[in-house]
């Protein structure tokens, strides 16, 4: 397969959707592992201040840090490596695999950039895998604003209001969604039973490992390692 046109679309739009990228059998197996792990009523992991201010209700899980080796199969998939190389270059680095889980009735995630957009060369690449379909019925659709990976900092403002030009994505089982860390994006409220995505984050060579430590929201910059608001943002 020729990955060049896909990479060109990614660089034009700051995101890319590829349906039927992952094998359905692999999706079913990983979906079961994730659902079993979170169980019926998982606890929120972030501080109350973060949950309130960021308007982001997610519970992260780093399965490979806990030896859940069934997630390694995705790291070894050649098509994913080849597409990533085409976008980031041959020396790209894997950051970590993170499952983000949201319960029914939670708000999803407010508008954000995963990392500060100071340098065009330094960013994380979200490589999102969906093991179950997300649509109007389930809520939790991923929303992106095309081309904003080139526009610098997400402007301060309403963490939730629609932004002109936004595109609502409804990934299916086996869909791969790539989102540049500087692209303005969010997740809509979760109306279905629960909602999660699995993100094999990567980065270009020369990007520091802690690139995703500071996240930019419309009302603040937040540092995860110290669990602190490092900047209040106002219009
Ligand atoms: O779960 C999603 O669809 C997107 C999550 C997100 O914002 C991210 O992985 O950076
Ligand atoms: Fe994000």
Position 57 scores a pLDDT of: 78
Contacts of 130 (CB under 8 A, 6+ apart): 27, 171, 172, 173, 174, 175, 177, 197, 198
| Cα–Cα distance, 46 to 194 (Å, whole number) | 18
Q: What is the CATH classification number for the domain harbouring 76?
A: 2.60.120.620
Instruction: Indicate whether 7 pLDDT > 60.
Output: yes
Q: Among candidates 95, 75, 93, 73, which has minimal Cα distance to 85? A: 93
Segment 105-114, tens digit of pLDDT: 888 999 999 9
Query: What's the structural domain count of the chain?
Result: 1
Q: Among candidates 183, 177, 226, 166, which has minimal Cα distance to 200? A: 177
Closest ligand relative to 128 C-alpha: 1
pLDDT band at 192 (very low <50, low <70, confident <90, very high): very high
Structural domain boundaries enclosing 186: 3-232
Ligand 2 center–CA 179 separation, angstroms: 8
Burial of 225 (0-12, 13-18, 19+ CB in 10 A): exposed
Q: How far is the CA of 17 from the CAs of 20, 61, 155, 174, in angstroms?
A: 10, 23, 25, 11
pLDDT band at 44 (very low <50, low <70, confident <90, very high): low
The reported pTM is: 0.94
Of all protein residues, whose CA lies closest to atom 7 belonging to ligand 1?
186
Name the residue with higher pLDDT: 127 or 68: 127
Position 218 scores a pLDDT of: 97
| Cα–Cα distance, 83 to 86 (Å, whole number) | 5
Closest ligand relative to 108 C-alpha: 1
| Cα–Cα distance, 139 to 195 (Å, whole number) | 8
pLDDT band at 1 (very low <50, low <70, confident <90, very high): confident
pLDDT band at 32 (very low <50, low <70, confident <90, very high): very high
Q: What is the mean pLDDT of residues 197-212?
A: 97
Encoded tokens for 223: 């540092």
Ligand 2 center–CA 69 separation, angstroms: 24
């Amino acid at each position: 397969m020729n990955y060049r046109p896909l990479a060109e679309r990614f660089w034009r739009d700051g995101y890319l959707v590829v349906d039927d990228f992952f094998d359905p059998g692999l999706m079913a197996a990983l979906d079961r592992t994730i659902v079993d792990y979170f169980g019926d009523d998982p606890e929120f992991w972030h501080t109350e201040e973060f949950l309130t201010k960021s308007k982001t209700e997610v519970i992260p899980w780093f399965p490979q840090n806990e030896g859940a080796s069934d997630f390694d199969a995705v790291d070894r998939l050649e098509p994913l490596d080849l597409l990533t190389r085409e976008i980031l270059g041959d020396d790209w680095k894997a950051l970590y695999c993170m499952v983000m889980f949201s319960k029914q009735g939670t708000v999803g995630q407010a508008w954000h950039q995963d990392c500060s957009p100071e340098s065009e060369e330094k960013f994380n690449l979200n490589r999102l895998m969906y093991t179950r379909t997300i649509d109007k019925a389930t809520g939790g659709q991923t929303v992106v604003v095309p081309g904003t990976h080139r526009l610098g900092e997400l402007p301060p403002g309403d963490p939730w209001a629609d932004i002109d030009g936004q595109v609502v994505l409804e990934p299916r089982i086996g869909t791969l969604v790539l989102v540049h860390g500087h692209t303005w994006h969010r997740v809509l409220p979760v109306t279905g039973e629960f909602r999660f995505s699995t993100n094999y984050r990567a980065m270009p060579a020369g990007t520091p490992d802690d690139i995703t430590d500071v996240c930019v929201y419309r009302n603040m910059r937040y540092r995860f390692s110290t669990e602190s608001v490092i900047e209040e943002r106002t219009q």
